[in-house]
Amino acid sequence: MKYVAMIYGNQAKWDSFPAEAWPEAIARQEAFNTKYRESGELIGAYGLADAAAAQLVRRENGAPAVTDGPYLETKEYLASFYLLDCESLERAQAIAADMPFADVEPVELWPILHESAADV
């Protein structure tokens, strides 16, 4: 079954992280990504731009109507997400708990109930 694991963040959180700690944090994240890509359980890992780069797209009179900014005024926003393919919920939970920052920040885990695969 497939799952989406999501990590939330905010600019204050990123700003408070010491600059000298980023290389190690990135290396730990890449080691996690490699481990689970090689096991076949990590389909993709995606880090999102800052919330200031988000846009809202609607349709008005048949054409895209685009406005800047996230939909909700919130301190936390989706910072990254991971697409997992696991044999069980328990395995997805174990992978989510193995994420480098899971000891200090929760990982939100959602089962995917419907898929329209792009490679069909």
**Res 117 pLDDT > 90:** no
pLDDT, position 74: 66
% helix / strand / coil in the chain, to the nearest 5? 30, 30, 35
- What are 105's two structure tokens? 């920040």
Q: pLDDT digit string (tens) for 26-69?
A: 999 999 999 999 999 999 999 888 877 888 889 999 999 999 87
Comparing 84 with 115, the larger pLDDT belongs to 84
Q: How does DSSP classify residue 50?
A: P
Residue 73 has pLDDT above 70, yes or no: no
Domains for the chain: give ranges and CATH numbers: 2-111 (3.30.70.1060)
- Least confident residue range of 3-17, 28-42, 64-78: 64-78
> What's the pLDDT score for residue 111?
96
∠ CA(27), CA(31), CA(32), 5° rounding?
120
What DSSP string runs through 5-56? EEEEE-HHHHHHS-GGGHHHHHHHHHHHHHHHHHTT-EEEEEEPPPGGG-EE
